[in-house]
Structure 1
């Protein structure tokens, strides 16, 4: 179906036709026509398919390192270096002061080129707290991870909210859990004692009146 005709120059016109291919909704065919001076016929210069209003276009290109999501990277993949990662800040270098060096080794990540920034620390805490190992998950047996004997405490500010589970029977073994998280493998939990399905009654046989006989061949 003819959509539009436009004169783009003297003796040069462009006619637009709707594309009927279902794979190209919103696209149009553009046909350029021209006529030489004193000529009685027109010449088809070119025909090409162009997107129109509302055409389905590919989304803007996003570099690979920018479109990755958590969980997309396996242990064998290698991420490109990001010098401006807002989650990291520069680590501390060695000084000549013994007290400052000890502080850097124990608390500031001495020996590492970069350490977590306040933003990176906050993002990690929010992500862990909102995960299935946060306080909103678990069977709530009445005892939280903060009171469990299998909890390994963490240092620093994160230790006020999180710890590491060390119970081989727990589904969260070896992972960071919120202190308010709970599960059925808590060190102090117990199950209700159930009665046997079939009652146990005393024997009805009187052993004192049993007569023992010998079999003869």
Structure 2
């Protein structure tokens, strides 16, 4: 069997001697822009394209350790004059930079809400579906608001309920969390929650995997736990005889009187 391979060669621009040598020009333009006190040593250059080179200088400005000044110079074809294109401050390999921006909604974690805080849920949140049916035609935001208002006036109960995707996300989150089988306290437990008398059953599709702990002495009291979770407060836990507390000694009745004390 014959295989034909196509080799693609990417041509890299050749260094232009005039732009590579324009270190003093790049430094002068940088000093004029930011001041001599903020400019450090020349760190090298990067060939950006044909007759285009970027010179890098250390940034000596306080608070910018590891950052570099980037000065891009270029030369037009058939001319010897080198000009400065742009001057920017860029982070180096050891620079301290801000973490990637994360939208506020994605930064919220359980326990972050304080009294009075509001966390709206989008109308098209895939975790929720309408509790009632309003047809197959898509609705805009105003029409959905009207449907919710009518449902509330008619006393239809919850406007939306968990979708299968929402139930799956919740089940996976609970199972992987502190109430699941992989929690340290569950791995060392003598038995599982499914045989514990303090387990309160719940209704709905999630009832096949989860319940609520009702043991006031347990860490998970009032929390969702998986059936294969467990802890040392299991209802059927019994101490071995060697671990049982020692019985108190037989009480001794003191029969001595003041006259007996004086006779000694």
The TM-score with structure 1 as length reference comes to 0.62
Q: Name structure 1 gaps, 5 residues minimum.
A: 35-41, 95-109, 204-211
Q: How do 1:126-137 residues align onto structure 2 when only pairs under 5 Å count?
A: 126-137=172-183
Q: Which residue of structure 1 lines up, in the alignment, with residue 189 of structure 2? A: 140
Check 1:55–1:49 CA distance in 2 against 1; reply closer, same or farther (3 A cut).
Answer: farther
Q: How do 1:30-69 residues align onto structure 2 when only pairs under 5 Å count?
A: 30=72, 48-49=87-88, 51=90, 61-65=101-105, 67-69=106-108
Q: CA deviation at 1:47?
A: 5.8
Q: CA deviation at 1:31?
A: 5.9
Q: How do 1:1-217 residues align onto structure 2 when only pairs under 5 Å count?
A: 1=42, 3=45, 16-21=54-59, 22-25=65-68, 27-30=69-72, 48-49=87-88, 51=90, 61-65=101-105, 67-71=106-110, 73-76=112-115, 77-92=117-132, 110-137=156-183, 138=186, 139-142=188-191, 144-194=192-242
Instruction: Classify the secondary structure of the residue corresponding to 1:20.
Output: strand
Matches of 2:210 and 2:194, distance apart in 1: 8
Matches of 2:179 and 2:46, distance apart in 1: 61
Matches of 2:125 and 2:238, distance apart in 1: 47
Aligned length: 182
Matches of 1:147 and 1:171, distance apart in 2: 17
Check 1:140–1:50 CA distance in 2 against 1; reply closer, same or farther (3 A cut).
Answer: closer
Greater share of helix = 2
Matches of 2:261 and 2:213, distance apart in 1: 66
Q: CA deviation at 1:136?
A: 2.7
1:191-215 CA distance string (max 9 Å, x none): 12237789x79x9xxxxxxxx9796
Q: CA deviation at 1:155?
A: 0.6
Matches of 1:5 and 1:181, distance apart in 2: 60
The TM-score with structure 2 as length reference comes to 0.52
Matches of 1:158 and 1:131, distance apart in 2: 16
Q: Which residue of structure 1 lines up, in the alignment, with residue 8 of structure 2? A: none
Matches of 2:158 and 2:219, distance apart in 1: 32
